[in-house]
Amino acid sequence: MRSGRRHRLVFAVGLLSAVLALVWALVAGDMPISLGEVFAALGGGEGMTAAIIRELRLPRAVAAFVSGGLLATAGALMQVLLRNPLADPYILGISGGAAVGALLGMTLGVAALAVDALAFGGALTAMLLVFGLAHGDGSWTQTRLLLTGVIVAAGCGAAVSLMLALAPDTRVMSMLFWMMGDASAAARPWPAALVLVVAVAAVQPFARDLNVLARGELSARALGVQVQRLRMALYVLASLLTATAVTLVGSVGFVGLIIPHLVRLVLGNDQRVLIPAAALAGGTLLTLADTAARTVIAPQQLPVGVLTALIGVPVFLFLLARHPR
């Protein structure tokens, strides 16, 4: 189609921005490192600079990029699943479940890896709980799913508040950082990167079905889309992506909500284009936000979730005001 060339151009720009954002994340920091040193380090150089790049900045930049991509993809999928442009990856309580797990681990003072495991377990528990409850009587309507998810999220919120109130003062800070989203402790981003790549590739052959589903369930069924099966697959996939992201960097807000919107404004609502573009844009935004979070008032670090919200809220309000609906 005619729009193909424009899509390729936008993708080229997106890819370039992503690379530039990642390079900036490697160059910027307390200790300025030149571009040449960065390439030397990535190429297997020795010394302290190379160690900082390879063991600190690279994992952190990749973690930010991957979780941004995961959240934006999950957000786009949730919006189609719930047929609601205001849905975000957290709306069905996935991040609430992860927060309960992670904070429980922190309260008990377990190791970082165990906190991750508890967060992922909590997210999966919330996912199965919402799925089971919403599916209860065999029907599976959007409203029922949404209501169940929102209620489970509220329950998790209460449990989180309880743990924060009871936790010793020394641990409250790290708990709050986890909840606002923080990429500084993400040391093992590569499995999540694989999840992102596989998920975006796996959605592609079904993306046109998502376009049809977005027009309404009944028309989708009449057009030969297996709606029930597709919805369940969407739910499980979006939940897994969210759980992976939240486990990696905590519940970073707004990426999953505004990135699909931004991409939709630029490229339209064709999921075949929207989903890979959202993954790219989400990754880029979170990488930029995370790099800013650790450099703006260095040596003090800000939780990246605060920055995405600070960027996200005005952008979102601006878009809402520009597109009255």
- Applying the rule CB under 8 A, the residues between 139 and 198 that interact with another protein are none
- Applying the rule CB under 8 A, the residues between 231 and 260 that interact with another protein are none
Minimum distance of another protein from residue 79's CB (angstroms) = 8
The answer to whether 13 contacts another protein (rule: CB under 8 A) is no
- What is the pattern of x (binds another protein, CB under 8 A) and - over residues 263-292? -x---xxx-x--------------------
CA 192 to chain centre: 11
| Identified binder of another protein from the candidate list 1, 48, 166, 321, rule CB under 8 A | 1
Contact 260, 75 (CB under 8 A): yes
Minimum distance of another protein from residue 75's CB (angstroms) = 14
**CA-CA distance, 30 to 236, in Å (whole number)?**
41
Task: Return the number of the residue (6 or 188) whose C-beta is nearest another protein.
Answer: 6
For residue 233, count other CB atoms closer than 10 A to its CB.
Answer: 17
Task: Return the number of the residue (80 or 180) whose C-beta is nearest another protein.
Answer: 80
Task: Return the number of the residue (255 or 274) whose C-beta is nearest another protein.
Answer: 274
Minimum distance of another protein from residue 205's CB (angstroms) = 5
Task: Return the number of the residue (161 or 219) whose C-beta is nearest another protein.
Answer: 219
| Identified binder of another protein from the candidate list 38, 52, 225, 292, rule CB under 8 A | 225
Task: Return the number of the residue (8 or 208) whose C-beta is nearest another protein.
Answer: 208
Minimum distance of another protein from residue 151's CB (angstroms) = 23
Phi then psi for residue 43, to 5 deg, are -80, 0
Reduced 3-state DSSP string for the chain: CCHHHHHHHHHHHHHHHHHHHHHHHHHCCCCCCCHHHHHHHHCCCCCHHHHHHHHHHHHHHHHHHHHHHHHHHHHHHHHHHCCCCCCCCCCCCHHHHHHHHHHHHHHHCCCHHHHHHHHHHHHHHHHHHHHHHHHCCCCCCHHHHHHHHHHHHHHHHHHHHHHHHHCCHHHHHHHHHHHHCCCCCCCCCHHHHHHHHHHHHHHHHHHHHHHHHHCCHHHHHHCCCCHHHHHHHHHHHHHHHHHHHHHHHCCCCCHHHHHHHHHHHHHCCCHHHHHHHHHHHHHHHHHHHHHHHHHCCCCCCCCHHHHHHHHHHHHHHHHHHHCCC
Task: Return the number of the residue (188 or 215) whose C-beta is nearest another protein.
Answer: 215
- What is the pattern of x (binds another protein, CB under 8 A) and - over residues 68-97? ---------------xxx------------
- Applying the rule CB under 8 A, the residues between 191 and 220 that interact with another protein are 205, 208-209, 211-212, 214-216, 218-219
| Identified binder of another protein from the candidate list 110, 162, 202, 223, rule CB under 8 A | 223
The answer to whether 321 contacts another protein (rule: CB under 8 A) is no
The answer to whether 6 contacts another protein (rule: CB under 8 A) is no
| Binding region for another protein (CB under 8 A) | 1, 83-85, 205, 208-209, 211-212, 214-216, 218-219, 221-226, 264, 268-270, 272, 325
